[in-house]
Amino acid sequence: MKKSSPGLVNVKYLILLFHLSVCICSTQTIFSQQKAVFTTTGSNLVIQFGEQTVANIILPASGTDFRYKEQDQVVNNCVYQLFTITSVSGKPINISGAITADSSSISCESDPRESGLKIVRAVSGASHSLLNNAVYNREDDWLVSFDHNNTKMVIRPEVSGKIIHYQFSITGNEIIIRFRPNYYQKHRGLTYFHPKEYAVYQKPVVGWCSWFAYFDKVTEANVIKTADIISEKFKPFGLSYLQIDDGYQQNPIGSSTSWLIPNQKFPSGLEKLAKYISNKGLQPGIWTNVSFTDSAAAYQNRTLFVRDKNNTPVSGNWIGYVMDGNQPATIEKFIAPVYKTLNQFGWQYFKLDALRHLKYEGYNSYKEFFDGKNNNRDSAFRKIVQTVRKEAGKDHFLLACWGIRPELVGIADGCRIGNDGYSYAGLAQYNSYNNIIWRNDPDHIVLSQKEAYRSCTATSLTGSLFMLTDKPEVYESSPLIEAAQRTIPVLFTQPGQVYDVDPSRSGHIGLYEAEMSGSGPRVFDAGTATTTGLFSLEVNRLFENWLVLGRMDERDNLIPVKDLGLDPNKQYLCFEFWTKKFIGIVNKQFSPGTIDSNYHCQVFCLREKLSHPQLLATNRHVSCGGFEINEMNWSENALSGSSELVANDLYVIYVYEPDNSLLKDIKLEGADLISNKKEGNIRMITAKSSHNATLHWSFMY
């Protein structure tokens, strides 16, 4: 670094003046904000946050003319810290180094790019995408990013135990480094996001819900028949939950017996039904809500409810009488016994409904009740759901329903982000929340001719909550069950962006405190109008990295590979998963063509082209091998690996063979070879086992 570079001699003085100015203008709230410390030592810039070294950055080499500036500012109670490195000569400068974060961290995009396709990005494994310009550390909720402005950058993760070192190299005339502490909590407005206090649910959540199949007419016989059929048709592929919805409980609801002793349509009782579902190898799930419609019980226990100035229990649409969550006796009498007993009965998945109505028609509509007692409405709300969380079992899945519920961050495992009825639009409106804040629930999937493949694909590629909801007869006869079988279980994913591709909803998140009616979607609830039909899943495994792109509609007719985070200077093999067609060798861009009317969507698998025979895809899962392949290797002119097979399911391995490749032998252990075919450069090898098995395969050339 040149000692004469402008800004270096007086940098400590300038920084001191800046911090003095902040102190003069700041309020006590601003003082409470923790900030990073930027320290320059020789040719290194070190960013420290608390006791942690976040980044070690090697500044431009000695002899390079550049200047740098540091700035931090508090805007709307959010801390923004910037560090700029600017070329004086106009020649590009380069910085490199490493960002160090824990295993909860991700490399990602921090902000939308000015150009390029809108694509909802999800990642399985540590992301290597060329779109990444940032690292987000979930446990400490900080974000380090480098501006895209005409820079070239590469960020590569190196996993070392529970630590990830993100090696980076950046070139440009001006390099801007941003540090944003409390990113989701402050910058994204999620007050209750305290990530050190909870972990996101990482197991697949795939199941069936009775609601759209039977609505409130569901019977015990319906549930038993469904358990019999889905345990046969879907359990081997990864479906694990069966959830009964509204229709089993007694009315009026309110007392614990109305939930625990079902109506006459369920003569065997809830404990025996849970046991039946469990004996089918499924996990029993149950719907309840926080409404209270038993007027006699409400008036007999009026001190346990929100009351008006005449000491009369108040009521509202959809919620009935409003339970006061700040009263310990309310919790002990009406909440804890229900969920403790359901847990003891064997129920393992809990869908908690009417939460928006408790908050809007209940607590928000009668805020004077809480203001007068100096009680917090969110506290009352959270105490009820925290009790459900505790008594239902910390290892059991808890779904908050319906609409965005920022007050319940850290309590619920999942959130129904929109209204009744499936829509993948919400997966673009809250993509940055999924598996960082909670698991997104786009609502139940109907295997209709138009929507089966599209809904299953979008849900699986994003790693969202996946629930079917057809009558079981559909699964006995319809070929559309393939849409579900090939997309489950969902992989655990994390977002490739910490912003929402469609920010039209999440930008209004703070308005939940002002609403007094939950009768329909509000401006912050996930909607149904889509701004993109593209969903990508980046799959990163020890043996290979590749990308899967889902196309839900035909609005984008040309796909540049740079917009996918791939290298436009490389060649990629492109395979369409549903039609099983080899699209060809892709360089720079490709045309996806017309969507097949049998599927109403497309799924493209793109793998970097190698000089030898290589895996193109498999037919087991929409991730094209990301779920079932354990290992894979090319060595001594042989392509080998191992895969987990479903009993009696034809397993197809698609191999790309360059011209002049000669297959000499196929070895399979754990399954039978059914067929070996070749069309053009694509070889299709089909295997089958009569039981669930690990297939070891090797193709010698």
pLDDT beyond 50 at 26:
no
Q: What is the pLDDT of residue 415?
A: 98
Query: What three-state secondary structure class fits 327?
Result: coil
Nearest to 129 by CA among 150, 114, 113, 141: 113
Average per-residue pLDDT in the chain?
A: 94
In this predicted structure, the answer to whether residue 19 has a pLDDT above a threshold of 50 is: no
Q: How confident is the model at residue 22 (pLDDT cuts 50, 70, 90)?
A: very low
Count CB-CB contacts under 10 A for residue 307: 18
How do residues 538-565 score in pLDDT, each as one tens digit? Answer: 999 999 999 999 999 999 999 999 999 9
Model pLDDT, residue 23: 30
Does the residue 683 lie in any domain? yes
For 425-452, write each residue's pLDDT tens digit: 999 999 999 999 999 999 999 999 999 9
Kindly state whether residues 234 and 270 are assigned to the same domain.
yes
Q: Do the beta carbons of residue 311 and residue 352 sit within 8 Å?
A: no
Dihedral of alpha carbons 525, 526, 531, 537, sign: positive
Q: Tokens in use for 649?
A: 């399911």
Q: Do 219 and 361 belong to one domain?
A: yes
Beta carbons of 462 and 431 less than 8 angstroms apart:
yes
Condensed to tens digits (0 to 9), the pLDDT of residues 336-362 reads 999 999 999 999 999 999 999 999 999
What is the pLDDT, as a whole number, of residue 63?
A: 65
Q: Could you tell me if residue 490 is inside a domain?
A: yes
Asked whether the bond before 578 is cis by omega within 30 degrees of 0, the reply is no
Q: Which of 116, 148, 181 is the last residue of a domain?
A: 181
Query: Has residue 194 been placed in a domain?
Result: no
Q: What percent of the chain has pLDDT over 70?
A: 95
Q: How far is CA 110 from the centre of its chain?
A: 16
Residue 192 within a domain: no
Q: Do residue 308 and residue 272 come from a single domain? A: yes
Indicate whether 62 and 143 sit together in one domain.
yes
* Position 4 pLDDT exceeds 70: no
Of 387, 416, 422, the residue nearest 404 (C-alpha): 416
Q: 320-342, pLDDT tens digit by residue?
A: 999 999 999 999 999 999 999 99
Q: Quick one: pLDDT at residue 5?
A: 34
CA dist., res. 271 & res. 99, Å (int) = 51
Evaluate if residue 28 carries a pLDDT over 60: no
- The answer as to whether 523 is a domain residue is no
Residue 165's region, left for phi above 0, alpha for psi from -120 to 50, else beta, is beta
pTM attached to this predicted model? 0.94
CATH number of the domain to which 239 belongs: 3.20.20.70
Average pLDDT on 101-118 reads 96
- The confidence score (pLDDT) of residue 41 equals 84
CB 34 within 8 A of CB 181: yes
The predicted structure's pLDDT at residue 62: 66
Domain encompassing residue 50: 11-181
State the pLDDT confidence band at 13, using cuts at 50, 70 and 90.
Answer: very low
Tell me: do 551 and 474 sit in the same domain: no
Strand order, beta sheet including 134-137: 66-75, 78-87, 174-180, 142-146, 134-137, 106-108
The answer to whether the beta carbons of residues 506 and 188 sit under 8 Å apart is yes
Q: Is the model's pLDDT at 21 over the cut of 60?
A: no
pLDDT in tens, 467-491: 999 999 999 999 999 999 999 999 9
Convert the pLDDT of each residue in 225-273 to its tens digit. 999 999 999 999 999 999 999 999 999 999 999 999 999 999 999 999 9
Confidence of residue 373 (pLDDT cuts 50, 70, 90): confident
In the prediction, which pLDDT does 107 show? 98
The DSSP secondary structure of 266-296, one letter per residue, reads -TT-HHHHHHHHHHTT-EEEEEEE--B--HH
Q: Look at residue 374 and tell me whether its pLDDT is greater than 80.
A: no
Residues contacting residue 516 through CB under 8 Å, at least 6 positions apart = 360, 361, 364, 365
Last residue of a domain, one of 476, 493, 513: 513
- On whether residue 5 sits in a domain, the answer given is no
Q: pLDDT band for position 18 (50/70/90)? A: very low
380 shares a domain with 412: yes
pLDDT at site 15: 32
Is the Cβ–Cβ distance between 642 and 667 less than 8 Å?
no
What pLDDT, on the 0 to 100 scale, is given for residue 24? 27
- Whole-angstrom Cα distance, residue 333 to residue 328? 9
Residue 103 pLDDT > 80, yes or no?
yes
Structure confidence by residue, pLDDT tens digits, 455-469 = 999 999 999 999 999
pLDDT per residue over 615-642, tens digit each? 999 999 999 999 999 999 999 999 999 9
Residues 278 and 172 in one domain: no
- Could you say which of 181, 197, 213 is where a domain stops? 181
Residue 269 shares a structural domain with residue 131: no
- How many domains does one find in the chain? 3
Write out the two tokens for 437.
């804040």
Same domain, yes or no: 111 and 221: no
Do 689 and 635 reside in the same domain of the chain?
yes
Same domain, 233 and 163: no
212 and 294 inside one domain: yes
Q: For residue 331, is it within any domain? A: yes
Give a yes or no: residue 260 inside a domain. Answer: yes
